[in-house]
Each structure stands twice: as structure tokens, then as C-alpha cells.
Amino acid sequence: KRKTRVHHLQQMKSEGERWSMLTAYDFSTAKIFDDAGIPVLLVGDSAANVVYGYDTTVPITIDELLPLVRGVVRGAPHALVVADLPFGSYETSAQQALASATRFMKEGQAHAVKFEGGERVADQIAAVTAAGIPVMAHIGFTPQSVNTLGGFRVQGRGDGADQLIADAIAVQEAGAFSVVMEMVPAELAAQVTRKLTIPTVGIGAGHECDAQVLVWQDMAGYTAGRTAKFVKKFGNVGDELRNAALAYDNEVKRGIFPAPEHTF
């Protein structure tokens, strides 16, 4: 199995080959996804929700994300590991973005970083890329801006379409190697995908993007409660884990576990 690099993703776009991306937040899960051949793993700031239990991604810090990045990198020898820059770690200036990205590369040993925004972060993308750090952009619905976007809403409808296209072009021109489009009408995402030379990664953006991404807990049926419309559940990991815990508890209480074969 090859180690995935940025140019492989570019190559897959030219050859019309789709690829998948999943989030990962720890060593053991990253190892399973790497074994399964998932070429790109994202240590998303969605860790705010699924690891730390915050309501939004706004509060999570670099110090909370970094240890997760280290675990994922150690567990995934083949995948390209992308680390999300959290809210507040890149908006101020190109210098701030570069300093934050550098921490993820040096202390986390990530292979690339991702941060939210289009035209408004073009200078940051250019500076980070120029320093030798590949950048994945993220446009459309950007969860860190939930407070100005008026909640979880589809972006790029009506007048918003021109802004979305402008954002996509801006991040490509600034040097991003790929761009996530979140909650964008499928037709607009398809149009952007045809227009750009860099691969687009959709989440709630239809099937004509070059790649797809989901939060792994949503994908595997491990998320408690309801999930977004764009999620498909490919497994029942939550039920499996609950059943395992129930069976274990039951056998311990009844004195069945540990059996002689588990005993020294």
C-alpha cells in the first residue's frame, strides 16, 4: 500500500477517480481506517463535539487537538493526515495562521492543515502554503461561523452562489491543494468541481464532488441522537458497543467472566 500524498489526490482528480476521507481522533480508530485504505484522515475540530462534548466547535483549542493529531498520525502510516486549525488560531493574520499550522506540523506531525473560509483567508492560505505546509480549504457552511451564518443552513443559495464560486476560486489561487464544500446545493458544487483544477471534497454537497468526507461517528452509527440529512449510516457501532458493554457487565455480575481460560 502506498503512502498518500497531495499529488496523488491531484492525480485522482485528473483521472476522474473518486476518493473518500473520514475524520479520526485517536490511534486505534485511525489504524482501522488506514487498514481499510481510506486515503485521507482529518483530525477535525468536530472533536469539539464528538470527543469533548462541546455544543459547537468554537471552544476547542490547539492544545486540545494536538494530542489527538499525534495519536492519529501514529495509527495511520499510509493516510494523509490533515489537522483542523481551530477557531481563533488563524483569523487575525497570515503570521498567526502560519504559527498555528507550524505547531500542528512540528508537534503533531500532521501532513497538512485545514481551516475555514474563502476569500477572507486567502492571505493565510498563501502564507502557510509558501512555508511548505499543504492547506485544505473549507467553504460553504463553516461551523466555526455558526453564530453569523444563522445556524446550520445550506450555503450558496440564490445570491450566495456567486460568493461561493468566488471563494472556491480564491482558495485555489491562494494555493490550497483541495477544498471542502459543506452544505452546498449539489448543482452548485458540481459546477465548482468542474471549474476548479484542485479536488473538491463534499459533505452535504452532492455526489459530483471529487471526494466525500463524513465524521466517522456519523458514518458508522456511533453518534447518539439525530444526524444531519447529508449523513448515511454505514454501520451500527453504537449498538455493537452498547451490547458488548451489557454482555460484559452481565457476565461479571453472574460470575461467568473471567472463565478458566482467562485465568492464570
- Contacts of residue 121, Cβ cutoff 8 Å, sequence gap at least 6: 90, 91, 97, 115, 137, 171
Please report the DSSP string for 197-248 in residue order: SSPEEEESS-TTSSEEEE-HHHHTT---S---TT------HHHHHHHHHHHH
Could you say which of ligand KIV, Na ion, none residue 181 binds, taking C-beta under 5 to 8 angstroms by partner kind?
none
Minimal CB distance residue for ligand KIV? 44
Q: Which of 45, 167, 210, 218 binds Na ion (CB under 5 A)?
A: 45
Reading the block at residue 98, the C-alpha cell is: 502560519
Calpha distance 77→27 (Å, rounded)? 11
Query: CA angle 176-177-180, nearest 5°?
Result: 80
208 is catalytic: no
Told to check if 6 binds ligand KIV by CB under 6 A, we report no
Alpha helices, DSSP H, located in 131-215: 146-149, 160-174, 186-195
84 is in an annotated binding site: yes
Could you say which of ligand KIV, Na ion, none residue 80 binds, taking C-beta under 5 to 8 angstroms by partner kind?
none
116 is in an annotated binding site: yes
Query: CA angle 127-131-132, nearest 5°?
Result: 125
34 is in an annotated binding site: no
In eight-state DSSP terms, residue 119 is: G
Binding mask 187-206 for ligand KIV (x = CB under 6 A): ----------------x---
81-140: contacts with Na ion (CB under 5 A): 84
Could you tell me how many residues make up the chain? 264
Which residue lies nearer to Na ion by CB, 141 or 222? 141
Q: How far is the CB of 123 from Na ion (least distance, A)?
A: 20
Which window, 11-19, 44-52, 68-76, 153-161, contacts ligand KIV (CB under 6 A)? 44-52
Reading the block at residue 149, the C-alpha cell is: 451564518
Reading the block at residue 44, the C-alpha cell is: 477535525
Told to check if 180 binds ligand KIV by CB under 6 A, we report yes
103-142: contacts with ligand KIV (CB under 6 A): 138
Q: Which of 34, 45, 167, 210 binds ligand KIV (CB under 6 A)?
A: 45
In eight-state DSSP terms, residue 53 is: -
The residue from 15, 64, 173, 182 that is catalytic is 182
Which window, 38-46, 120-128, 148-156, 166-174, contacts ligand KIV (CB under 6 A)? 38-46
Calpha distance 240→222 (Å, rounded)? 9
Could you say which of ligand KIV, Na ion, none residue 85 binds, taking C-beta under 5 to 8 angstroms by partner kind?
none
CA dihedral sign of residues 210, 216, 221, 224: negative
Q: How far is the CB of 182 from ligand KIV (least distance, A)?
A: 6
Which residues lie near ligand KIV (CB under 6 A)? Answer: 23, 42, 44-46, 84, 138, 180, 203, 213, 215
Site residues (vs Na ion, CB under 5 A)? 44-45, 84
Extract the annotated binding site for Mg(2+): 45, 84, 116
